[in-house]
């Protein structure tokens, strides 16, 4: 850990200690230094397997676009050694439960081409811009409802408690639309949406003791919630099959074939869980962080409120600014050179997306929040390669609908504290609470 008086150097910087993320937020200065002095840096610290830290936009782009050189099949995210072991135990249990081998891909993110493309394409038709256009009016209607309910809560709190009348933006607003939209697309009954949210929130946050039952370890929390969610899914799948398939995401999966065979129960189950989980934490945090940065930048907020044509650009800038996915990892498939460094076959490379999104070679004045930024080729959804976020259009359309509906309310809100961050995550930079209140 860096003592505050010590100047930051390559030797003392720390980009993996999750306690520091909670205390100080993202390690922007460390990433700046890495981009400047060692953009392809062999990072060795206790409690972590060593890896190449990749911090520049161009290199993230290169790695993302070359799945033949950088594989997804081994480690997908940089985590501490104990979490890697936990993941291995989960794979063994999965194989015992469903058959197959612990080395089988946990879901299709862990696949390389051509297998990856075969699985991804089963679902990609549901997430095209054209499909999102057909849902646009509906998303706007849902967003208006959620914003109007949120406004009622904010006003009621002000009336009841005055200055003390704070409201948690995360649970009262930001979390709502992402869960509703994906659950509806998946054909999950509305009365179950809160439960789905709790499972995804708890599984994403299990490293943080707040999400655990008293006395539980992280692994026990994950197992308890996974068990409950699995059993819910089994019932849901049976019901869907007996009631008849429709055009929802689950029906598509239950009907899907790869190379002439139906998906196995394990494949359906993990695919479905991925679709439901991947967008909740990510989109919710982008919304929460987006509202925060707008409230911190009143002139940008005013511009957004005055001119509705700024909404799509503002959403892109919020995505760049918040960069809620911190990193994904790849494994080198052969010896190769990057910026003069030799990366050996089998070594890990870790792409730090927030750093790429502040790369001064790509973004002018990268630490300025500018909703009119053009171009804005950010990597919030990955580096536009084989694994580029499947739900990027969904997230964009949800955020556009939400910020469109939120414009009239934004000038009436103020922050009532700093964001409280989810502990222990090196994958998604999660905000668990952010208090706001009505301006008096």
Whole-angstrom distance, CA of residue 356 vs CA of residue 382: 10
For the bound state, the minimum distance from the C-beta of residue 283 to ligand HEM, rounded and expressed in Å, comes to: 4
DSSP state letter for 73? S
For residue 160 the two structure tokens come to: 């009841």
Tell me: does residue 252 bind ligand HEM (CB under 6 A): no
Which residues from 110-129 bind ligand HEM, rule CB under 6 A?
120
Tell me: does residue 390 bind ligand HEM (CB under 6 A): yes
**Which residue number has the CB closest to ligand HEM?**
391
Whole-angstrom distance, CA of residue 204 vs CA of residue 278: 10
CA-closest candidate to residue 98, choices 272, 276, 270, 258: 270
For the bound state, the minimum distance from the C-beta of residue 258 to ligand HEM, rounded and expressed in Å, comes to: 15
Report whether 396 contacts 315 (CB < 8 A). yes
Q: Which of 395, 431, 434, 438 binds ligand HEM (CB under 6 A)?
A: 395
Whole-angstrom distance, CA of residue 361 vs CA of residue 366: 9
Q: Which stretch binds ligand HEM (CB under 6 A): 298-306, 319-327, 340-348, 401-409?
A: 319-327
Whole-angstrom distance, CA of residue 178 vs CA of residue 287: 10
Q: Which residue has the tokens 């290199």?
A: 59
Whole-angstrom distance, CA of residue 263 vs CA of residue 267: 6
Q: Which of 175, 278, 291, 343 binds ligand HEM (CB under 6 A)?
A: 278
Tell me: does residue 282 bind ligand HEM (CB under 6 A): yes
Tell me: does residue 142 bind ligand HEM (CB under 6 A): no
For residue 2 the two structure tokens come to: 């860096």
Helix (H) / strand (E) containing 70? strand 70-71
Here's the x/- map for ligand HEM, 159-198, by CB under 6 A: it reads as -----------------------x----------------
Tell me: does residue 221 bind ligand HEM (CB under 6 A): no
Tell me: does residue 391 bind ligand HEM (CB under 6 A): yes
Q: How many residues at the interface with ligand HEM, by CB under 6 A?
A: 29
For the bound state, the minimum distance from the C-beta of residue 111 to ligand HEM, rounded and expressed in Å, comes to: 8
Report whether 416 contacts 435 (CB < 8 A). yes
Tell me: does residue 387 bind ligand HEM (CB under 6 A): yes
Tell me: does residue 402 bind ligand HEM (CB under 6 A): no
For residue 409 the two structure tokens come to: 């309310």
Please report, for residues 121, 232, 358, 417, the alpha-carbon distance to residue 188 in angstroms, rounded to integers and kept in the order given. Answer: 22, 11, 38, 35
Q: Which of 69, 109, 151, 431 binds ligand HEM (CB under 6 A)?
A: 109
Whole-angstrom distance, CA of residue 19 vs CA of residue 30: 15
Beta strands in 287-399, from DSSP E residues, in sequence order: 327-332, 336-338, 341-343, 348-352
Q: Which of 31, 51, 229, 328 binds ligand HEM (CB under 6 A)?
A: 328
**Rg of the Cα atoms in the chain:** 22
Q: Which stretch binds ligand HEM (CB under 6 A): 139-147, 302-310, 318-326, 403-411?
A: 318-326
Q: Which stretch binds ligand HEM (CB under 6 A): 228-236, 293-301, 378-386, 410-418?
A: 378-386
Count Cα neighbours of 254 within 13 Å in the Cβ-side half-sphere: 20
DSSP state letter for 108? G
Give the residue with the Cβ less far from ligand HEM, 201 or 438: 201
Tell me: does residue 382 bind ligand HEM (CB under 6 A): yes
Tell me: does residue 283 bind ligand HEM (CB under 6 A): yes
CB count, 10 Å around CB of 408? 10
Q: Which of 13, 143, 170, 275 binds ligand HEM (CB under 6 A)?
A: 275
Tell me: does residue 28 bind ligand HEM (CB under 6 A): no
Residues contributing to the site for ligand HEM (CB under 6 A): 64, 108-109, 120, 182, 274-275, 278-279, 282-283, 286, 319, 324-325, 328, 353, 380-383, 385, 387-391, 394-395
């Amino acid at each position: 850990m860096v003592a505050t008086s010590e100047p930051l150097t390559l030797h003392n910087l720390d980009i993996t200690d999750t306690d520091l993320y909670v205390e100080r937020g993202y390690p922007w200065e460390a990433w700046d230094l890495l981009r400047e002095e060692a953009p392809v840096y062999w990072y060795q610290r206790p409690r972590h397997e060593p890896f190449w830290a990749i911090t520049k936009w161009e290199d993230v782009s290169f790695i993302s676009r070359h799945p033949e050189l950088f594989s997804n099949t081994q480690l997908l995210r940089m985590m501490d050694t104990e979490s890697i072991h936990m993941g291995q135990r989960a794979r063994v249990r999965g194989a015992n439960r469903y058959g197959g081998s612990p080395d089988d891909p946990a879901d299709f993110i862990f696949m390389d081409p051509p297998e990856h493309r075969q699985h991804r394409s089963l679902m990609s038709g549901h997430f095209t811009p054209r499909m999102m256009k057909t849902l646009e009016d509906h998303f706007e209607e849902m967003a208006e409802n959620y914003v109007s309910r949120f406004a009622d809560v904010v006003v009621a709190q002000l009336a009841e408690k005055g200055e003390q009348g704070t409201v948690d933006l995360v649970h009262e607003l930001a979390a709502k639309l992402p869960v509703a939209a994906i659950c509806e697309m998946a054909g999950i009954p509305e009365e179950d949406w809160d439960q789905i949210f709790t499972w995804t929130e708890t599984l994403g946050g299990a490293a943080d003791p707040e999400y655990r039952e008293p006395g539980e370890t992280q692994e026990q929390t994950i197992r308890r919630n996974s068990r409950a969610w699995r059993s819910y899914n089994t019932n849901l799948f049976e019901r869907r099959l007996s009631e008849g398939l429709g055009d929802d995401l689950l029906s598509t999966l239950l009907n899907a074939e790869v190379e002439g065979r139906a998906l196995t129960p394990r494949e359906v189950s993990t695919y479905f869980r991925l679709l439901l989980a991947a967008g909740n934490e990510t989109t919710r945090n982008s919304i929460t962080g987006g509202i925060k940065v707008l409230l911190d930048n009143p002139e940008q907020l005013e511009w957004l409120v005055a001119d509705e044509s700024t909404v799509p650009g503002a959403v892109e800038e919020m995505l760049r600014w918040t960069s809620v996915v911190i990193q994904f990892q790849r494994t080198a498939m052969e010896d190769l050179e990057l910026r003069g460094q030799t990366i050996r076959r089998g070594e890990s490379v870790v792409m730090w997306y927030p750093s790429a999104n502040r790369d001064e070679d790509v973004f002018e004045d990268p630490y300025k929040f500018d909703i009119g930024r053009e171009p804005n080729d950010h990597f919030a959804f990955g580096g536009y390669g084989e694994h580029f976020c499947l739900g990027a259009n969904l997230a964009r359309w949800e955020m556009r609908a939400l910020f469109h509906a939120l414009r009239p309310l934004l000038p009436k809100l103020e922050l009532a504290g700093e964001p409280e961050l989810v502990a222990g995550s090196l994958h998604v930079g999660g905000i668990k609470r952010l208090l706001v209140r009505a301006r008096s």
